[in-house]
Amino acid sequence: GAKAHGRSAHCFFDESMIQAARERLEIEARLRSAMARGHLLLHYQPQLSVATGRIVGAEALLRWNDPEEGLISPARFIPVAETSGVIGPLGQWVMQEACRQGQAWRAAGLPAVRLAVNVSPRQFQLDDMAVCAAQALAASGLPAHCLELELTESVLAERPEEMRQVLQRLRELGVRIAVDDFGTGYSSLVHLKRFPIDVLKIDQGFMRDIPASGDDMAISATIIAMGRSLGLNVLAEGVETPEQLAFLRERGCDSYQGYLFSRPVPAEQFARLLQAQAEKQPAQA
């Protein structure tokens, strides 16, 4: 009957909630121990100039190398880290490690590139990102202009005045600010003029169906044109085909990243890509 059905639906709901909570706790505990044991690492995805094809930067992407499960995707554990607060120490580790690695490449004589680090909304609530960045830069010796923080649009909407001040202090340090996944959030274009933003990263969802989708081409072209006229850099994410790159070149997009050139790769492999570029086309002195 309706009553029995209602009750069992209720039970099912409770059990799945408990199950989900249990899973979260388990992942949280394992994540803390993974951090302590050095099972977390960063992969680096090259960012290239559309005009010259040179590597201009790298996005640092977190990986969890579990002895049993192998590489675990950030999509699985970042959300858990965010709800539990582990994201605080985790985010600080990512920033420090990316800066350390960037400076190590410079010290090894590789061409200087900018390191882009993802910062989740929760990190902005937990810690002062300007202080975290300043500490990571000081500890590593990496120049501030080599660090870029990627944040999402939602962060700008939540506590705008506090955010504006933090971003302003980051800008004064010399750190660049990128808006990740641009075009997918509750974006208000007002953000672009109210906040000290340097880069718009066009969400990869808009690239996927180019050139088949006229709508996606129109949206991407509009973001590029708007970014340019506001004096911002525009980077396209998720570029997988030569046709997509040709489209970006035609529209005057500044830079791109995606499987077309390289997936995110371990640090040693990224260093080899930089080395190969230096040998192929030495930078002008």
Q: Which residues contact 10 (CB under 8 A, 6 or more apart)?
A: none
Measured from the CB atom, the residue of 58 and 130 that comes closer to Mg ion is 58
Q: At closest approach, how far in Å is the CB of 116 from ligand C2E?
A: 8
95: CB partners within 8 A, 6+ apart: 117, 119, 132, 133, 136
- In the list Mg ion, ligand C2E, none, the entry touching 140 (Cβ below 5 to 8 angstroms by class) is none
The residue among 94 and 232 lying less far from ligand C2E, judged by its C-beta, is 94
Residue with token string 């969802």:
205
Virtual torsion, Cα 232, 220, 274, 112, nearest 10 deg:
10
Q: Cβ of residue 85: shortest distance to ligand C2E, in angstroms?
A: 13
- Which residue in this structure is represented by tokens 């699985």? 76
> Which one-letter amino acid corresponds to residue 86?
V
Residue 78 interaction partner, one of Mg ion, ligand C2E, none, beta carbon < 5-8 Å per kind: ligand C2E
- Please say which residue, 268 or 279, places its beta carbon nearer to ligand C2E: 268
153 lies in the site for Mg ion, by CB under 5 A: no
CA 120 from chain centre, in angstroms, equals: 9
Rounded Cα gap, residues 260 and 226, in angstroms = 25
Q: Is 123 one of the binding residues for Mg ion (CB under 5 A)? A: no
To the nearest whole angstrom, how small is the minimum distance from the Cβ of residue 201 to Mg ion?
A: 6
Measure the CA–CA gap between 47 and 237, rounded to whole angstroms: 9
CB closer to ligand C2E out of 2 and 75: 75
Note the residues at the interface with ligand C2E (CB under 6 A).
45, 61-62, 73-75, 78, 91, 94, 118-120, 150, 180-181, 204, 237-240, 257-259, 264
Q: How far is the CB of 180 from Mg ion (least distance, A)?
A: 4
For the residues of 61-80, what is the DSSP string, one character each? EEEEEETTTEEE-HHHHHHH
CB of 25 to ligand C2E, least distance (A): 20
Distance CA 278, CA 107 (A): 15
Q: Which residue is nearest to ligand C2E (CB)?
A: 258
Among 82, 97, 148, 150, binds Mg ion (CB under 5 A): 150
Q: What is the Cα–Cα distance from 199 to 177, expressed in whole angstroms?
A: 6
Q: Binding residues for Mg ion, per CB under 5 A?
A: 118, 150, 180-181, 237
